[in-house]
Amino acid sequence: MTEDLNFVQKARREKLDALVAAGVAPFAYSYDRTHQAADAVASLPEGADEGGTVRVAGRLVAWRGHGKTAFAHLADASGRIQLYFRRDELGEDIFAQLALYDIGDVVGVAGPLMRTRTGEVTIRVSEVVLLAKSLRPLPYGKEEVVDGVTVRHSGFADSEQRYRQRYADLAVHPEVRALFVARSRLITAIRGFLDGRGFLEVETPVLQPQYGGATARPFATHHNALDMPLFLRIADELYLKRLIVGGFDRVYEIGHDFRNEGIDRTHNPEFTMLEFYQAYADYTDMMTVVEALLVHAADAVRAVSGIGEKVPVLRPPFPRIEWAPALSAAIGQDVMAIEDEALRRLVSAQGIDKVNTMSRPKLLDELFGALVESRIVEPTFVVDYPVELSPLAKPKRGNTALTERFELFARGRELVNAFSELNDPIDQRQRFEAQARLRAAGDDEASGVDEDYLRAMEYGMPPMGGVGIGIDRLFMYLTDTANIRDAILFPTLRPE
RNA sequence: GCGCCCUUAGCUCAAUUGGUUAGAGCAACUGACUCUUAAUCAGUAGGUUCUCGGUUCGAUUCCGAGAGGGCGCACCA
């Protein structure tokens, strides 16, 4: 191990040894703080040159030695503050020990506030305590402030290493921390909104003997004691709807779903899903709920300093366009009446491959994606999907070729998918059996017959509206983030 | 899965047509400096050029295979 250390790491271990030899405990247990850095800076009144003593703790992020004095910056979760060390204040021994400190060390300091000649609020350090020695250099860049804007030089740019070592990415990039603060605020806001409307947050199984609720390949695992296969859930849907049968009128879950599919800038194998179900509501009711929820969520993200500026202003009610008329207008003829061959030619003309192997629903979906979805910029509801595209939704009242389903699109991306939920167990059994036939024929994305779920439905399932929102993608939309890896703290990567 | 691109010091980047000992800034080390702030000044050290193989007198550079990553397309949320 020791042979693997580079010279920088060796130097730090030597300093660690020297500190121990001098009687310093290099890894402390606690430190009593009076302020966070930003609060300490703000506590010195405008115009005042001296203030009271403060105690702060954090990481050394810059060091400028001047012989018998030194300036440094200390950063904590709130921001940074300048430190001023003087030999005549700290004494010969302590000041000499500062030579054994490094950028990246976690320290606690105490001393009175002062304002330097250039006006920066600074702690004139009278006590310095090492809280954790840094044995590996953090990839700090240098920062300067030009016209009030912080410019970072060099720094930590390798995106792969930033994902692999998110701790280092966060440690050196306050703006990355701010982004994940915003993500946390988003989820807190969603909980607050739903709790305030009488929804009950529940937890349903992640490990499921039978997966369902979506079309996707699962992760499979095995329980040793029971000697049985288990699957990581691909959706929460079927368990949440069981709870509506049980008498909870409004339930929601925020959790991870897992899909054993490819990884790209909009797909991570595990992702955060919000699903909520409201008994006695239909899809038009849910559109109104979704509008209010998104406004509430966007406001929460907008409140985060440094991130909120990017958040689009949402102005409900969002426009609603009907699926079939919108596509018919785009192609200049009635899409519901078009022949398969003509449809295939239209899809092919969009530059989409493999049209000869596509089913009619698939062709319709492709065409809609190319001609309508991708051109939606402002948040827009697309409503009333063809029944062949929507196996989980109730038929539309007055037109059984369509379903009571809506999706919300913005910037060409799907943000929300919702239905008036199918609550007819006889119909549901037929749809399950159709899935089982597909599976028997080799479709590994098709599910089987979930007998327990059918049993629940047969007891009587209230009508309900259900909504699914991919939280990672909603967050990406709100913060204008292009890559899902930038929206997930520890994205799935190949092993190093 | 397919196509294009990338991988050089701890970090950020150079390196002429294939040519001597692979350079610079930051970080590190030694020294100077009691209001600096990308501190400054003088000096020192730091490299399996992603890996393996090939061509060549000579490879960071050209060729082949592999690994990891990025972007685009396809699939999905």
Q: What is the DSSP letter of A335?
A: G
Question: What is the torsion angle, in degrees rounded to the nearest 10, for the CA atoms of residue A120, residue A141, residue A264 and residue A330?
Answer: 50
| ipTM reported for the complex, 2 dp | 0.87
Q: Which of residues 162-181 of A touch strand B (CB under 7 A)?
A: 163
The answer to whether the C-beta of A7 is closer than 7 A to strand B is yes
Q: What is the pLDDT along chain A (496 residues), one digit of tens a residue?
A: 233 457 788 889 999 999 999 999 999 999 999 999 999 999 999 989 999 999 999 999 999 999 999 999 999 999 999 999 999 999 999 999 999 999 999 999 999 999 999 999 999 999 999 999 999 888 888 888 777 777 787 788 888 888 888 999 999 999 899 999 999 999 999 999 999 999 999 999 999 998 888 888 888 889 999 999 999 999 999 999 999 999 999 999 999 999 988 888 888 999 999 999 999 999 999 999 999 999 999 999 999 988 999 899 999 999 999 998 998 888 888 888 888 888 888 877 776 666 666 667 777 887 888 888 888 888 999 999 988 777 788 999 999 889 999 999 998 888 999 999 999 999 989 888 887 887 777 666 677 789 999 999 999 999 999 999 999 999 999 998 888 999 999 998 887 7
> Encoding tokens for residue A256?
């991870």
- Using the structure, give the distance in angstroms from the CA atom of A199 to the C1' atom of B49, rounded to a whole number: 59
Instruction: Determine if the peptide bond prior to A312 is cis (ω within 30°).
Output: no
Task: Give residues 369-428 of chain A lying near strand B (Cβ < 7 A).
Answer: 414, 417
Unique residue bearing structure tokens 């899935």: A435
Residue A123 CA to B18 C1' — how many Å? 58
HSE, CB side, 13 Å, CA atoms: give it for residue A200: 14
Domains of chain A and CATH, by start: 2-137 (2.40.50.140), 175-319+378-486 (3.30.930.10)
**E strands of A280-342, at which residues?**
320-322
Instruction: Find the nucleotide nearest A484 (Cα to C1′).
Output: B77
For the segment 421-460 of chain A, residues whose CB is within 7 A of strand B: none
Q: Is the CB of A13 under 7 A from strand B?
A: no
Query: Model's pTM, two decimal places?
Result: 0.92
- CA A474 to chain CA centroid, nearest Å: 8
Say whether the CB atom of A269 is under 7 angstroms from strand B. yes
Any atom of strand B under 7 A from CB of A198? no
CA distance A94 to A299: 49
